A = this chain, B = another copy of it.
Amino acid sequence: MSKGLDTKETILRTACELSSKFGFEALSIGKLATKVGLSKSGLFGHFNSKEQLQIDVLNYTAENFTAKVLRPAVKKPRGLARVDAIIANWLEWSKYEKGGCPLLAAAIEFDDRPGEIRKVVRALYEQQINFYKRAFQIAVECGELPKDTDINQIVYEFYSLLVGQHIYTRLLKDQSVEERLLLAYEQLKAKFSNP
Render A108-141 as a binary contact track against B, CB cut-off 8 A, 1 for contact: 1111110000000110011001000000000000
Query: Are B167's CB and A164's CB within 8 A?
Result: no
Q: When chains A and B are docked, how far (Å) is the Cα of A21 from the Cα of B115?
A: 13
Q: Which residues of B contact A105 (CB under 8 A)?
A: 108-109
Task: Kindly report which residue of chain B lies nearest to residue A168, judged by CB atoms.
Answer: B156
Q: When chains A and B are docked, how far (Å) is the Cα of A181 from the Cα of B177?
A: 21
Question: A104 within 8 Å of B by Cβ?
Answer: yes
What's the least CB distance linking A66 to chain B, in Å? Answer: 18
Task: Work out how many copies of this chain go into the complex.
Answer: 2
- For window 146-165 of A, CB contacts with B under 8 Å fall at 152-153, 156-157, 159-161, 163-165
Q: When chains A and B are docked, how far (Å) is the Cα of A153 from the Cα of B152?
A: 23
Give the interface residue-count category, chain A: 35 or more
Q: When chains A and B are docked, how far (Å) is the Cα of A22 from the Cα of B108?
A: 10
Q: Which residues of B contact A63 (CB under 8 A)?
A: none
Render A56-100 as a binary contact track against B, CB cut-off 8 A, 1 for contact: 000000000000000000000000000000000000000000111
- For window 7-37 of A, CB contacts with B under 8 Å fall at 21-26
Q: Which residues of B contact A121 (CB under 8 A)?
A: 171
Task: Kindly report which residue of chain B lies nearest to residue A157, judged by CB atoms.
Answer: B184
Query: Are A22's CB and B25's CB within 8 A?
Result: yes
Q: When chains A and B are docked, how far (Å) is the Cα of A38 from the Cα of B170?
A: 37
Q: List 9 A-B contacts (CB under 8 A).
A: A23-B24, A99-B111, A111-B171, A112-B170, A125-B167, A152-B180, A156-B168, A160-B165, A191-B191
Query: Are B191's CB and A187's CB within 8 A?
Result: yes
Query: Are B21's CB and A113's CB within 8 A?
Result: yes
